[in-house]
Amino acid sequence: MALNAPSTETKAELLKKAVDLYNGDLLRSASSEHWIIRQSVHYQHRYIGAVTELLKTLHQDQDYHCVHRYAAKALAIVPHSADIYYWLIHAIHKQGHTEIARSELRTAKHRLLDEDYAMLENRLSVEANMT
């Protein structure tokens, strides 16, 4: 429904509702069991997709405070997403908090795989060169 929403406001509201439904792994106590891993990974990927679309939509509306809030919440649930780190750092920087953005970049360096961190750093540097 969100992808076909008539306005960005409606799209954002629908995505917020979808994102707010997910709080992490299904049945946390059994999350490493072979019978549930596939479903857990499936829902996590759907969540990441919905969050990413929400962050893009909020960015289009220049609602950097909400981008920051939803990206931070998403990273608490899925701490290994370079894309979500990008949106978090981007929003913090747009709000004028350069030192906090640098701190989040250092945190990302410790949490992400080297290749994911390199892509994040490159994406942020390309953006910095454009402004």
**26-47 core/surface letters (b: 16 or more CB in 10 A; e: else):** eeeeeeeeeeeeeebeeebeeb
pLDDT value at 65 more than 80:
yes
CATH of the domain at 68: 1.25.40
Q: What is the pTM of this model?
A: 0.85
Task: Specify the number of domains making up the chain.
Answer: 1
Q: Express each pLDDT in 89-101 by its tens digit.
A: 999 999 999 999 9
In this predicted model, which residue has the larger pLDDT, 40 or 110? 110
Q: Which domain holds residue 101?
A: 2-130
pLDDT, residue 116, reads 96
How far apart CA 73 and CA 104 sit, in angstroms, is 14
Token couple for 46: 């759907």
Amino acid at 108: A
